[in-house]
Structure 1
Amino acid sequence: MKHVGVIDIGSNSMRLVLIEIGKKNYFRIIDEVKETVRLGMDMTIDGKLNPQRMEKAISTLASFKSLCEGLGACNIFPVATEAVRRASNQKEFLHIVKSTLNMEIRVLTGAEEAYYDYFGVINSLDFSNGLIMDIGGSSTELIWVKDKTKKEAISLPFGALNISDQFNLAEKMDSNTEKDLNKYLMVQFKKVTWLEEVKNLPLIGVGGTIRNIGKISRKTINYPIDRSHNYQMDSSEVLNIYDSIKYKNSEQRRKVKGLSKERSDIFIGAFSVAAALMKFCDNPRLIVSGGGLREGLIYEILRGEKVIKDVLEVSLNNIIKTLNIDKDHAHHVWELAESLYTQLKPLHKINGNSCKILKTAAMLNDCGKTINFYNYHKHNFYMLTNFPINGLSHKELIMAAYTMMLSVKENFDIDNSPYVTLLTEEDKYVIQRLGIILRLAECFDRKRNGNITKVECKLKSDQLFLRLFSKGTTETEQKEVESRGAYFTKVFGKTLQFE
């Protein structure tokens, strides 16, 4: 077991993420600390970092270092972005940090910052093509992703702090200022020639401003999930939120539900960048990414430059390893469930591919038992809806949680459950049938030893015949399946028989 601390010295805030790394590079975040330092604010005319803000930054780094040292051996990776990158007294700042804290700060180039944004996003979201945007305090990174590969990237020298300062947006923005700001941004975007080639792609947003936009949206519609990662909004909703806030003064902004009070003075400037880019590129929707620069650094530490091909698979296995779940049993249940799902398509008649939902439910169906066996299905539900699972939409995550619940409690009432507003009647239909398939798969590995190696299904009239291939006797597994036979017949109209 080893510990790693990643420190992100941004222009607006400084963050420490502490992770624990186990065998085969499974990891979990064990602490995260943020301090609003605004190192990129109040720089002198000749481009020097403000002495008071430097002092606060060094004090914050000392605090972060003490947290890392509290874990014993801990490798610390501090990186700095635009404010330090362009500071004329950069060397002085780095020297003070080195001499007082014995800490070597790596100052990222704009290209490196964009790369780590890309690497954090591509390894935590399931997508192939899109435009990534990270609005920082003093810079904005844009990355064009095509077929999961970083095709183009650029770091633009404006962000929440300097845009707000340049156009005096801290207190209020009026229509004339908005026109000037929009004109300025359009000129900047037109300089990036490759942006003309990324029209109509989803915009994937990184950073505090984007998370705040998502939180405002969730508060507005009473969204039942308190999760920012992979939250999605149509462009019309994003622009409507922007229009409803853009002319508010600083006091009015502080009252907006979902908007961080410490970000309220720089929020409009940063939001203007996002809104202008969405219009410029005709992005149909905005996807909030919880992964960015810090996560990109973490994935590089864990995997080098290798991009994760199956984000969901890696995420599920990471949870299995972290919780010390029986990996062999989890994978075998999924193999059996996948086989049943495929063979029973004429029976379940599920449109589309729900395998990601079934896979998640199958591989994590023991997670609640790590808390307590009794009522483990309730622990399952809570844990699944709160786990940092990558590769699933919010709806798919909730459907997986309900699938796990129905695999144990056949009479569970979805209509009186907390997340039902996210589901359609078709979704409920799918969940019910996936729950039965998962229950059968669990029954077939009741001994948890891989005894049943294969199941063949044959539909004949009003019966479903099951042929079991095994390493030993199958009485235990057959008995378990028979106990579920009445419910199977109720849902599918077929009786279960063994060949």
Structure 2
Amino acid sequence: MDEVAVIDLGYNSIRLSLFQRGERNTFRTLGSMKEFTRLGEGVDEGGEIRQEKIEEAERVMIKFRSVLERRGVETVHPLGTSAFRLARNGEEVSKRLSKALGWEIQIVPGEEEGRLAALGALNSLPFTDGVVFELGGGSLEVIYVENRSLGKIFHFPLGALKLTKTFGSEDGMRKEVRNYLFSLPSWVVPNMVGSGGNVRSIGRLLMRMDGMKFSHVHGYKVTHEKVKSISKTLWSMNLQEISSLPGIGKERAPTVKAAIVVIEELMSLFDAPSLLVSEFGMREGKVMRGEEQSVAEMRDGWLESMAYFMNVRPPREIRLEAEKLTGSEIAGISAYVSHIFMEVGWDDPFDACYRYLTYSLFPGFQKRDLGIVSLVCKGASSKVRKKDLQRLGVDSKLEKIEAMSKVVKTVVKKFPLGVY
């Protein structure tokens, strides 16, 4: 399995992400580094990236180059986005930073940025039709998805940092966003999926407010009503108050007001009942090779990659046996993940399964379904209580989870070699 690095030179920040690529469209994130350089600050159409920003970005590139060379990474994809597209000196700056980095920076067109972001979401979340958007610091990409295939892609200069620097009032900002979004083809969408740093921060804030225990927000569903409510709250607060909110932090605080306006206007335009948050965007889409054509294929790919990354043969028969005995895919997946931890050598594979699914980013599921899977694992190790259901956003009956847990424990223990 090869290691691939993607460097996202964005309008607001520069991030290095390192991945270990698996089969199909799967990977494991090995780590990341980020610096808020704000390359696009003050850059309008035809303007220039400022000298002090270039010098700061050069220092970041030199640091990233040292890390990549010491790690021995050979495949590196440096991607320049909206700041480079907008700036009059974008090409010149990309060449200068490429020299500091040691790999050539590719200036990505807006449509390609949207395509990659949509791939990241489509290949890691269970939805078939809808609209995917990626909200960056300098631009917004909107992508139509039908029958799990990418359709039309639209690109707008509506990034959160750009809007924040241009407009001082909420009314002016909303008018600007509406003027651009008015050109989008109308469609009442069954699903809306959003990615980008501010989208993740707002998702984390709402997840914490819901009292949910998950460490990652990937697959978390936010209702339109909650978006409208948090929008009013954020616009009533000052910068210091916003920066103290859980999930936001001081780096995102200046731009979340603009971000929530864009999100709210998109959801209103498409009459979207909810927003599904994706932690995968352009960087992850660059690692992927194409579109998975069904939710089942996508999910199976991530489950198998988990086993392979842990040097374990995928325990498919264990999954099928638990499904057959319970009639539930959830029980089958709980047994599958628990069995992997048993083969790896954990004393309590069921508790390991529970902790792994709640603290790790596990693609292929919405948070509600992942919560049920993890609680079925927990039930095979210890007692599940009603407060556990609340903390993971699960609305299933406790008795049903306990019944599945008993079957999962029996199947995993009965077939220690994964076959029967």
Does 1:313 find its partner at 2:300?
A: yes
Which residue is 1:53 aligned to?
53
Which residue is 1:431 aligned to?
401
Work out which structure has the larger RCO, using CA pairs closer than 8 Å and 6 or more positions apart in sequence. 2
Q: State the Cα distance separating 1:440 from its structure 2 match.
A: 4.3
SS across alignment from 1:77: strand
SS across alignment from 2:369: helix
Moved more, 331-340 or 143-152: 331-340
SS across alignment from 2:144: strand
Which residue is 2:243 aligned to?
254
Q: State the Cα distance separating 1:220 from its structure 2 match.
A: 2.1
In structure 2, do the counterparts of structure 1 residues 181 and 126 end up closer, same or farther at CA, with 3 Å as the change threshold? Answer: same
CA distance in 2, matches of 1:359, 1:256: 38
Which residue is 1:493 aligned to?
none
Bigger Cα Rg: 1
Which residue is 2:284 aligned to?
295
Is this contact kept in 2: 1:367–1:383, CA < 8 A? no
Q: State the Cα distance separating 1:108 from its structure 2 match.
A: 0.7
Paired AA for residue 382 in structure 1: R
CA distance in 2, matches of 1:426, 1:251: 39
Matches within 5 A, 1:44-443: 46-168=46-168, 177-192=169-184, 194=185, 196=186, 198-299=187-288, 304-307=289-292, 309=294, 310-327=297-314, 330-342=315-327, 354-355=328-329, 357-369=330-342, 372-407=345-380, 409=381, 412-415=382-385, 418-422=388-392, 426-442=396-412
CA distance in 1, matches of 2:238, 2:25: 48
CA distance in 1, matches of 2:271, 2:395: 32
Paired AA for residue 310 in structure 2: L
CA distance in 2, matches of 1:187, 1:294: 29
Unaligned segments of structure 2, at least 5 residues:
none
**C-alpha RMSD of the superposition:** 2.4
Is this contact kept in 2: 1:130–1:203, CA < 8 A? yes
In structure 2, do the counterparts of structure 1 residues 141 and 391 end up closer, same or farther at CA, with 3 Å as the change threshold? Answer: same
CA distance in 1, matches of 2:228, 2:190: 16
SS across alignment from 2:252: helix
CA distance in 2, matches of 1:233, 1:23: 31
Runs of 4+ that moved beyond 4 A = 22-26, 416-426
CA distance in 2, matches of 1:55, 1:208: 24
Q: State the Cα distance separating 1:41 from its structure 2 match.
A: 0.5
Q: State the Cα distance separating 1:35 from its structure 2 match.
A: 0.8
SS across alignment from 1:283: coil
Residues 92-111 of structure 1 deviation map (CA, whole Å, 9 limit, x = unaligned)? 11221233433211111111
Moved more, 387-396 or 310-319: 387-396
In structure 2, do the counterparts of structure 1 residues 179 and 222 end up closer, same or farther at CA, with 3 Å as the change threshold? Answer: same
Is this contact kept in 1: 2:216–2:360, CA < 8 A? no
Q: State the Cα distance separating 1:116 from its structure 2 match.
A: 0.3
Q: State the Cα distance separating 1:71 from its structure 2 match.
A: 1.2
Paired AA for residue 315 in structure 1: W
Q: State the Cα distance separating 1:22 from its structure 2 match.
A: 5.9
Paired AA for residue 318 in structure 1: S
Is this contact kept in 2: 1:414–1:420, CA < 8 A? no
In structure 2, do the counterparts of structure 1 residues 449 and 45 end up closer, same or farther at CA, with 3 Å as the change threshold? Answer: closer
Paired AA for residue 341 in structure 1: T
SS across alignment from 2:124: coil
Is this contact kept in 2: 1:7–1:76, CA < 8 A? yes
Q: Percent identity?
A: 24
Paired AA for residue 209 in structure 1: N
Residues 371-422 of structure 1 deviation map (CA, whole Å, 9 limit, x = unaligned)? 6442333223212322332222223223222323434x4xx32117745544
Is this contact kept in 1: 2:194–2:278, CA < 8 A? yes
Q: State the Cα distance separating 1:243 from its structure 2 match.
A: 0.4
- Give me the TM-score of the superposition, normalised by structure 1: 0.78
Is this contact kept in 2: 1:126–1:390, CA < 8 A? no
CA distance in 1, matches of 2:395, 2:157: 48
